[in-house]
Chains A and B, each alone.
Chain A
Amino acid sequence: MTNAVRTHGLFKRYGPQVAVAGIDLIVPKGSFAGLVGPNGAGKTTTLSMITTLLRPDGGVVEIDGHNVWADPIGVKGRIGVLPEGLRLFERLSGRELLLYNGQLRGIPLSEVSSRADELLRVMDLVEAQDKLVVDYSTGMRKKIGLAAALLHNPAVLFLDEPFEGVDPVSANTLTEVLRRYTESGSTVVFSSHVMDLVERLCDWVSVMSRGYIVAQGPLDSVRQGRTLNEAFLELVGARGDAPEGGLSWLGSSSA
């Protein structure tokens, strides 16, 4: 099995704080991979470095065998990105955003329009297609962001927290689209801290904690008979229970 994504010793520090401590991330081609970890584990920094949005302090990133920082032409056409924080061109309408993206990538306008129309229909955004992105809800923004990332039919898709703050209906649409996409042999890498979702969708999991990858592999080998949540809590060294004592006044309110 070849790898869609491979990093070697990927490293990034902000001042004295090491955000990503030389990781070797592996994602096999055609897998639906989850990158999980608590807040501040370095997931976003890792994804930003892999997708050329942040310069690493050290290490190598390869996508489909192309070195990301040495051969951007080979890489940038192959990847689709949905970064964290829903950073989009707020003053374009959803449709305009898709057209802009497609044209930027040199796809002919007629082709972009027909792809955009299809994506808008699948994402259930037809009604809102002429509204400004600034007025979109979180779910709509994630959907239009995913549509923009899929527009040029990339081989590998990177999604940072695609399901955060998304309502169940939109989340369902997103997962359906992603499932169809991976079934055709394309690769999805997404970060999340919703373990149930990762367990349900992914066949490959990488667990990050404090800048390191603490476990990586097929879903079943990482969870080893437990639920992913239990395995995760143990891997990142968190205690399952809240501290005992205190809060004696809480509950059965008399006021």
Chain B
Amino acid sequence: MVGLFVRLKLRLIRGSLRGDTAKQIGFVFSMIAAACCAFFGFLLFAVTRAADADVAQEIGIVAFTAFAMSWTIVPLLAFGLDETLDPSRLALFPLTPRQLAVGMLTAGATGPWPLASLIALFGAVIGLGRTAGGIVLGILAVLAVFAFCLVLSRTVTTALSGVLRSRRGRDLLAVAAVLVVVAGQLPNLLINRGVPGGGRALLDSLAAVLRWTPPGMAAHAISDGGLVGLGELVVVAASVVLLAWLWMLALRRALVTPDSSSQQAGSVRRSRIGRFLPSGMLGAVVAKELKYVRREPRGRIGWISAVVVSGFLAFSMHFEGSVFAIAPPAIAATMIGLQAANVFGIDGRALWMNAVVFTGERDVRTDLAGRHLGFAIIAVPLLTVLSVVSAILAGDLWAAVPAALTAWGVLGVSLGTGAITSVLSPYTLPERMNAFSSAAPGQGGLMFVSAFGAMLGTGLLAVPFVVLVAVGFTWVSVLAVLWGLLVSFGGRRLAGVVGWNRLPDLLAAVARPT
């Protein structure tokens, strides 16, 4: 059974690479990255030997826990369910839950990344094991932690497999991915802002708590190296057995639980926004855009990241002086505008519904205007709030006025350039967002051209007035708004001509299989 599942996993990896150069290159990079992680992980663990025994132990405890956490979270976010992780794929085979469990464990331990983690963990034996007993216990502890990571990750994925297969679950998970990335920045921010007692105190308090988790105990066992350590290892082993038992229960349940994606989902509220919008194509597109921001996870991710990054900027660039009131809203406006650099991407395969209606350049222009209006309805209040916040932080409330005006101008400019990149270099957004790719296979180049073009265009067209406002010519900010409107109008005009002429190509480019 073990051999069979190892072969299955290897064959699945090989099968997914066959005949696809982009994926093959990606896999090679992934192998190199895994090798690097294995090497440097091992090295980093090993060099803690040079540190104080207490510090080394604390670092070990925190790092081991972090390992187990990432083993739980990363597969959920990055991969969802691969074929060997999804028990329902194996449900029809005559296998007992025990056989399934053994098989899926082996499948989980096969591959470059599990091997890399195992190698990196062994570094801890060198870093923490200061006695002969410590080294012997260390080898056992590393194996126990590795088993713990595997079983924990499998238990969580299996328990959530029902949710992961449903549309709502996947939507939630996509947004959760952004939140996890943001949460990952928190310690950074805390350390930068200065915690009372410094980094050491933070490490102390973290380690004091995490020491009692199974991975923490394992790390402690290595540095202890004596009977206490042995006792702790027994606890770790027991927790692995307990988790494995829970996992089998979850497996048994998952095998007979139907796919919840086919069940009826709830209704949406009928929106009343339509009443306040112009009738016809323009209003229809605006209403659709606003709905998509709320309902489409990819839309939500974009906006959440724009808001979060702007917030970070405002708080991390808090220096005195009105210059620093202007920069964060302007940068936020650029970021929001960048989302409009591939406006048709979010429609993807549904874009034909618009295309069969368009009868000329004017319709493409109207569609773009609707999308821009949708963006502006959310972005303008957002940028205004951000301007006020950063003006307060900069200690000059009046700076909020030029800051807001400038940000609106930048927004207009970036929407205008975005309209052009949207028709010149459109690409398909993948159905499932993940951290590694945001374009369909083979369209990475187009995505780069689009993002880079939009950045460059926005920069060239916006920097003159942003600089003028920043150095003190605040009245220029009034012109900035007009300039922004003008550029966005010009961008739509040009994009209308280009877009109409290459409408079928546009359709094909945003509807690639992912």
Interface residues of A (CB under 8 A from B): 51-55, 72-73, 76-77, 79, 81, 83, 85, 87-93, 95-96, 99-101, 103-106, 108-109, 130-132, 134-135, 137, 148
**Closest 3 CB pairs between A and B?**
A103-B284, A130-B267, A87-B349
With both beta carbons as reference points, the residue of chain B lying nearest to A95 in the complex is identified as B270
User: Would you list which residues of chain B between 457 and 512 have a CB under 8 Å from chain A?
Assistant: 503-505, 507-508, 511
* B291–A103 touching, CB < 8 Å: no
Bound Cα distance from A53 to B283, whole angstroms: 24
Partner of B357, one of A54, A104, A108: A104
Bound Cα distance from A52 to B353, whole angstroms: 11
Bound Cα distance from A106 to B367, whole angstroms: 13
Q: Is B250 an interface residue (CB 8 A)?
A: no
14 other A-B residue contacts (CB within 8 Å) besides A85-B349, A131-B264, A131-B267: A53-B504, A54-B504, A76-B356, A76-B358, A89-B353, A92-B291, A93-B268, A96-B268, A96-B291, A99-B274, A99-B284, A101-B357, A104-B354, A130-B269
Partner of B292, one of A53, A87, A91, A93: A91
Q: Given A100-B288, A104-B284, A108-B279, decide whether A91 and B267 contact each other with a Cβ distance below 8 A.
A: no
Q: Is B167 an interface residue (CB 8 A)?
A: yes
Partner of B280, one of A73, A87, A103: A103
Q: Is B347 an interface residue (CB 8 A)?
A: yes
State how many angstroms separate the Cβ of A204 from the closest Cβ of chain B.
23
Q: Is B296 an interface residue (CB 8 A)?
A: yes
Q: Is B355 an interface residue (CB 8 A)?
A: yes
* B267–A106 touching, CB < 8 Å: no
* B266–A76 touching, CB < 8 Å: no
User: Would you list which residues of chain B between 104 and 143 have a CB under 8 Å from chain A?
Assistant: none
Q: Given A91-B291, A103-B281, A132-B295, decide whether A76 and B357 contact each other with a Cβ distance below 8 A.
A: yes
Bound Cα distance from A202 to B295, whole angstroms: 41
Per-residue CB proximity of B54-82 to A under 8 Å, as 1/0?
Answer: 00000000000000000000000000000
Q: Is B245 an interface residue (CB 8 A)?
A: no
Bound Cα distance from A92 to B503, whole angstroms: 23
* B352–A81 touching, CB < 8 Å: yes
Q: Is B199 an interface residue (CB 8 A)?
A: no
Q: What number of B residues sit within 8 Å (CB to CB) of A? A: 42
With both beta carbons as reference points, the residue of chain A lying nearest to B298 in the complex is identified as A91
Bound Cα distance from A37 to B357, whole angstroms: 29
The contact sample of 6 A-B pairs, CB cut-off 8 A, is A53-B352, A54-B504, A72-B359, A93-B268, A103-B279, A108-B279
Q: What residues of B have a CB within 8 angstroms of the CB of A105 in the complex? A: 357
* B264–A83 touching, CB < 8 Å: no
Q: What residues of B have a CB within 8 angstroms of the CB of A92 in the complex? A: 288, 291
With both beta carbons as reference points, the residue of chain A lying nearest to B504 in the complex is identified as A55
User: Would you list which residues of chain B between 302 and 347 have a CB under 8 Å from chain A?
Assistant: 347
Bound Cα distance from A154 to B366, whole angstroms: 23
State how many angstroms separate the Cβ of A159 from the closest Cβ of chain B.
13
* A135–B507 touching, CB < 8 Å: no
Q: What residues of B have a CB within 8 angstroms of the CB of A72 in the complex? A: 358-360
User: Would you list which residues of chain B between 246 and 295 have a CB under 8 Å from chain A?
Assistant: 262, 264-271, 274, 279-281, 283-285, 287-288, 291-292, 295
Q: What residues of B have a CB within 8 angstroms of the CB of A95 in the complex? A: 270
Q: What residues of B have a CB within 8 angstroms of the CB of A89 in the complex? A: 288, 347, 350, 353
With both beta carbons as reference points, the residue of chain B lying nearest to A56 in the complex is identified as B504
* B352–A87 touching, CB < 8 Å: yes
Bound Cα distance from A93 to B268, whole angstroms: 7
